[in-house]
């Protein structure tokens, strides 16, 4: 039962108690005394975090220090805006180099080719995106690749800028790929698609496939500084996995937006696991050593994907980005990168989901250190761990004195290993 002191959002979600500085919203007179002014273009969890953060006040003018902007603002206003020294916004100018599926694949292939030329065995050391092609530009290359595979191989088509599972379909026969050539009602060509070999052997829990959302905070690309939050979640498909039908989205897609359209969808049952729960399950099934190796492999996926665009992203000290990485594990616990989201959903689907996103965003602001409280050499801030500092990967043994690497160097990734500290009385 909630107490009278509990703060609630407009949709009746309870504001969680956070051990970092928080307070109830203050009066206008009290707000004038605040030093950190913010603007927020959204009305979801990030707005709740900013409104309830101690020492922060909303402004409608251009005197803001922190602005959670929209994609439209980046397109129409970024190039014209004259930033003052202390102003900070939540996107890099050309983050699409990493977050649009066709650009992600282009840059991955370029980095992979460079690795191969330098003598790296890319089949084992740089192989975290399935065989992929951008259509229509690479259609003929795709056809050549398609004919090398068994006839029952499944492929997946995705719009390059799609979201929430819209426009995705699977196929086995080449004639079905012509779907992307169809014109819309206005007669103009449809957007390009990405076609990938489908990961046919996903790791299953209870017979269902899932992917994992991971929050990666990049505060700079040159030099690269990247943090990964220990919390996140696994999203399960609505129906049990089977390759018998490639037309059933409830079997193959994990998007909540897709699951909600099922006739028997039950919002109370939920289709999410927290990362602590998922990794406890992994450890119980496979042991610590196997999970540690998977964690290290995943850290490398994050680092290499960021490095593939490091020299392409327009570096700006006024910008940061909270990316939503979507990862799928196969039956061998190998991580595959599905996509990177520049605007991961901040709208809560439940109280638990709200509290998780609230913590992630609150800790994100702690890392950005607009209040100037940090020393600058921290390895952990809230639930965030530093994975790359000054373009160098950070090893776990150097930040955790008693860590026992399973082999070689264990990178500083600790997914699922977060417990909210008990607030001081």
Over the stretch 235-289, which tens digit does the pLDDT of each residue have?
988 778 888 877 656 566 765 655 555 545 555 566 889 999 999 999 999 999 9
Give the pTM: 0.89
Q: What is the mean pLDDT of the chain?
A: 85
**Domain presence at residue 327:** yes
Question: Going along 4-99, which residue ranges are E strands?
Answer: 36-40, 56-58, 66-68, 88-89
Last residue of a domain, one of 148, 173, 198: 198
Q: Would the pLDDT of 32 be above 60? A: no
Judge whether 396 and 411 are in contact, CB under 8 Å: yes
Is the domain of 108 the same as that of 135?
Answer: no
Confidence of residue 158 (pLDDT cuts 50, 70, 90): confident
Residue with tokens 């409104």: 51
- Across 41-50, 100-109, 243-252, least confident range: 243-252
Is the domain of 232 the same as that of 319?
Answer: yes
Residues 63, 67, 69: CA angle, nearest 5 degrees: 130
134-157 residue pLDDT tens: 988 999 999 999 999 998 899 988
Residues 210, 211, 215: CA angle, nearest 5 degrees: 150
Is the domain of 189 the same as that of 230?
Answer: no
Is the domain of 56 the same as that of 156?
Answer: no
**Domain presence at residue 23:** no
Sign of CA dihedral 90, 335, 339, 276: negative
Q: Residue 417 maps to which CATH number?
A: 3.30.470.20
Q: Would the pLDDT of 5 be above 50? A: no
Is the domain of 120 the same as that of 254?
Answer: yes
What are residue 196's DSSP bridge partners? 132, 156
> How many domains does the chain divide into?
2
Distance spanning both ends of the chain, measured CA to CA: 20
117-130 residue pLDDT tens: 999 999 999 999 99
**Domain presence at residue 246:** yes
Q: Residue 138 maps to which CATH number?
A: 3.30.1490.20
Is the domain of 163 the same as that of 232?
Answer: no
- At 310 the pLDDT is 97
Its domain, for residue 80, covers 33-128+203-424
Is the domain of 213 the same as that of 124?
Answer: yes
Is the domain of 326 the same as that of 243?
Answer: yes
287-340 residue pLDDT tens: 999 999 999 999 999 999 999 999 999 999 999 999 999 999 999 999 999 999
371-384 residue pLDDT tens: 999 999 999 999 99
**Domain presence at residue 13:** no
Q: Would the pLDDT of 131 be above 80? A: yes
Is the domain of 272 the same as that of 174?
Answer: no
**Domain presence at residue 389:** yes
**Domain presence at residue 43:** yes
Strands 36-40 and 66-68: what pairing?
parallel
**Domain presence at residue 26:** no
- At 265 the pLDDT is 55
Is the domain of 123 the same as that of 146?
Answer: no
Last residue of a domain, one of 198, 215, 249: 198
- At 189 the pLDDT is 59
- At 141 the pLDDT is 94
What's the rounded Cα separation, in Å, for the pair 105 and 134? 8
Is the domain of 230 the same as that of 367?
Answer: yes
**Number of other residues whose CB lies within 10 A of the CB of residue 347:** 13
Is the domain of 225 the same as that of 289?
Answer: yes
Confidence of residue 23 (pLDDT cuts 50, 70, 90): very low
**Domain presence at residue 245:** yes
Residues 38, 39, 40: CA angle, nearest 5 degrees: 125
- At 348 the pLDDT is 86
- At 180 the pLDDT is 57
């Amino acid at each position: 039962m909630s107490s009278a002191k509990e703060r609630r959002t407009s949709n009746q979600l309870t504001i969680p108690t956070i051990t970092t500085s928080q307070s109830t919203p203050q009066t206008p007179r009290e707000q004038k005394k605040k030093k950190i002014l913010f603007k927020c273009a959204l009305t979801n969890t990030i707005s709740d975090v900013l409104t309830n953060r101690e020492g922060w006040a909303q402004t409608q003018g251009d005197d803001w220090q922190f602005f959670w902007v929209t994609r439209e603002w980046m397109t129409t206003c970024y190039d014209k805006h004259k930033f003052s020294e202390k102003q900070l916004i939540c996107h890099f100018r050309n983050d699409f180099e990493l977050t649009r599926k066709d650009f992600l694949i282009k840059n991955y292939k370029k980095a992979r080719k460079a690795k191969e030329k330098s003598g790296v065995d890319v089949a084992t050391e740089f192989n975290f995106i399935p065989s992929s092609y951008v259509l229509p530009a690479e259609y003929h290359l795709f056809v050549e690749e398609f004919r090398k595979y068994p006839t029952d191989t499944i492929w997946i088509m995705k719009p390059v800028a799609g979201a929430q599972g819209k426009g995705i379909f699977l196929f086995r026969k080449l004639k079905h790929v012509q779907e992307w050539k169809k014109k819309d009602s206005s007669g103009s060509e449809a957007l390009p698609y990405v076609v990938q070999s489908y990961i046919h052997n996903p790791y299953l829990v209870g017979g269902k496939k899932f992917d994992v959302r991971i929050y990666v905070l990049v505060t700079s690309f040159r030099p690269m500084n990247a943090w990964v939050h220990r919390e996140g979640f696994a999203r399960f498909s609505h129906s049990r996995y089977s390759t018998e039908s490639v037309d059933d989205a409830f079997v193959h897609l994990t998007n909540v937006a897709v699951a909600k359209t099922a006739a028997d969808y039950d919002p109370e049952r939920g289709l999410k696991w927290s990362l602590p729960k998922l990794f406890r399950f992994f450890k119980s099934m496979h042991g610590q050593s196997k999970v540690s190796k998977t964690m290290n492999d995943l850290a490398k996926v994050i680092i290499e994907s960021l490095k593939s665009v490091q020299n392409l992203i327009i570096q700006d000290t006024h910008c940061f980005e909270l990316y939503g990485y979507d990862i799928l594990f196969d039956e061998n616990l190998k991580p595959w990168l599905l996509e990177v989201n520049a605007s991961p959903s901040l709208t809560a689907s439940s109280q638990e989901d709200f509290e998780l996103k609230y913590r992630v965003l609150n800790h994100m602001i702690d890392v950005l250190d607009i209040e100037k409280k940090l020393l600058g050499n921290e390895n952990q801030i809230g639930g965030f761990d530093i994975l790359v500092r000054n373009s160098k990967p950070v090893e776990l043994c150097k930040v955790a004195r008693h860590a026992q690497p399973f082999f070689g160097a264990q990178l500083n990734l600790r997914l699922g290993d977060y417990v909210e500290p008990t607030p001081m009385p």
